[in-house]
Chains A and B, each alone.
Chain A
Amino acid sequence: MTDDYFEAILIWSEKGPSTAVNDWFIKRGLKVAPMHKGLLISGKQSIFENAFQVEPLGPDRPLALPVPAEISDHVFTITVMKPRRF
């Protein structure tokens, strides 16, 4: 099985940004980059699956990921990106 690299966009809830959210992802081995209205989260598929405690992710995109309870106050949605092509 291939371990693909994913990008997901996190959109802040009305409460806005929180460094605890950034730390939550970094602690689980995912990379975060600040965006205008959220965060860009990236990493290998297996790391996403471990972090979000989900079954192997299917091919459908965009794909909404379940927002973990620990960070749900600050997070509106987390979505795996639609594929981009040349």
Chain B
Amino acid sequence: MKSIVPYQKLTQQALPKSMQGYVSVTSKGKKSIFSRKSPPKSAKAFHATKTDLKEARSALESTGVQIVAESRLGFAIAGPPQAFEELCDGKVVTVDRLMHAEGGRERYVTHLDIVGDKQPSMLGHGKVKSSKMKIEGLLIERPRLLQSIFPSPIPPFVDQFHLRVPDDIAVGLGARKDLLNGFMGEGIIVSMVDSGQYAHPFFAAHHYDVLPAKTVVTGTSSTKDPVGHGTGESANIFAIAPETKLQPIRATDENGNLVGAIGGFLLAKQDSPAILTNSWGGDGPYPPTGPPDTYDIAWAAEIIDAVENGIFVVFSASNGGFTIEPQVPGVLAAGGVYMTGDLEMQASNYASGYPSPWFENVIVPDVCGLVGLSPRAQYIMLPVQPGCELDIFESQPSPNDPNDDGTMANDGWALFSGTSAAAPQIAGIAALILSAKPGLSSAQLTEAMTKTAVDIHTGRCHPRFNYPAEIGHDNATGHGLVDASDAVQYALDHF
């Protein structure tokens, strides 16, 4: 089947400080190895003379290239991109190419190439600037993938109580496969603006469909997630809707700062996904000192426009923050409920909850997903890029929490949640409903979830707002904890 994404594309990622290559020195047989159409039966004709090897070495070293090893045919070399550019009188660029990678799944892997007027078109093949160098040609090392699986696709076991993806999330939210009548989100695209998407083997092992990430900030990698937040939280979507397609949008800079959130939202919106989930927001005084400023009004108009374009927009309620996004009418605001091992439920004191002071009849949240408790909601074991910010942070005590999550700082797994987990869980439920009943509006999806949510009447939301969960609709948990199979059934029965 033809891929809907290009096999190869020029990108603008940061170049490495050092790159590796191979040069073939002029062959004794006078025919260049690069002129052949197939591998030779013997390498002897392509041996270099000692004199040519010496001259080539000297030419290489004069450009700042370091010789790593020598053979009878040429050299393994290393050096900064500038040295390779000097050697070839060309420019080093980054190119993403689709490769079969971990677990047999395809993903983009970044390659390096040299381009310029006299440079060959083959990826990674360069021509040196002068024949006097006694060099037939240069190859830049192509990325090779290790034939083993790291990090493990299986979440590690740790002592403290926690939920595991996908099964515990599916059980807690009524999304066990046997309850879903075959509706598992097939073909529904969920776009997620976040910190990036690392190709963790967890996704491949479960055959989840993750499209290549799009990036907002020039120069950032579409295959990296320096924070781990996007990769980890996206597992919540698939825990509910395993057959959905995820379109990750990376809105962070090279250091993982969320600097392109609005750009990410606009980029996602441009593709008109069925569902757009966002696990981020700002913060401001609560209660606010006045109405939203012109800035927030302009931004809110953009969100409303997405809803009016038929996109089901989910925003996390925030973890103690007060921000405009989840309050925007038409957006589904995702709050938090904590479920124990005995399936007892209470409002999460980590999640924001309040009646909107800016919009009439809006309560944040509308409904809730599964979220941990203060001090840092270490609750769901989620896959992350090994050694990323969350992998390290959660594995160590913090100033307000003497405990760690029991995982290693570089094992590619971390225990976290927040309303950041609730938003993709709810996005997953929307995907289930749409696969059962295509074409429903945002209002109908919201109705299906709010009418079937499990009422929560114990606990309080974040102490900044301090509302209690009460019988019926309340300011701490909205309509309560979402129930996937009941919401799907409601949609089938009522729309």
A binds B: yes
Alpha-carbon distance A35/B96, docked complex (angstroms): 30
List B residues at the A interface (Cβ < 8 Å). Answer: 194-195, 216-217, 227, 229, 253, 257-263, 266-267, 279-284, 293-295, 297-299, 301-302, 304-305, 321, 418, 420
| Partner of A37 from B216, B217, B301, B420 at Cβ < 8 Å | B301
Q: A7-B261, A33-B266 are in contact. Are A81 and B295 (CB under 8 A)?
A: yes
Alpha-carbon distance A50/B223, docked complex (angstroms): 32
Chain A contacts with B in 7-23, Cβ cutoff 8 A: 7, 9, 11
Give the chain A neighbours of B297 by CB distance below 8 A: 37
Alpha-carbon distance A7/B283, docked complex (angstroms): 16
Alpha-carbon distance A79/B299, docked complex (angstroms): 11
Give the chain A neighbours of B281 by CB distance below 8 A: 84-85
Assess the B259–A6 pair: CB atoms within 8 A: yes
Assess the A86–B227 pair: CB atoms within 8 A: yes
A interface residues, how many (CB within 8 angstroms): 24
Give the chain B neighbours of A62 by CB distance below 8 A: 293, 295
Which of B229, B260, B267, B283 has the most chain A CB within a 10 Å cutoff?
A: B260
Query: What are 16 contact pairs spanning A and B, CB under 8 A?
Result: A4-B253, A4-B257, A6-B259, A7-B261, A9-B262, A9-B299, A36-B305, A37-B301, A40-B266, A42-B260, A82-B284, A83-B258, A84-B280, A84-B282, A85-B283, A86-B227
Nearest Cβ in chain A — how far from B45, in angstroms? 52
Q: Verify if A25 is at the interface (C-beta below 8 Å from B).
A: no
| Partner of A35 from B194, B229, B253, B298 at Cβ < 8 Å | B298
Assess the B258–A77 pair: CB atoms within 8 A: no
| Contact string against B for A residues 36-77, beta-carbon threshold 8 Å, 1 for contact and 0 otherwise | 111010100000000000000000001000000000000011
CB-nearest residue of chain A to B255? A2
Nearest Cβ in chain A — how far from B82, in angstroms? 21
Assess the B295–A79 pair: CB atoms within 8 A: yes
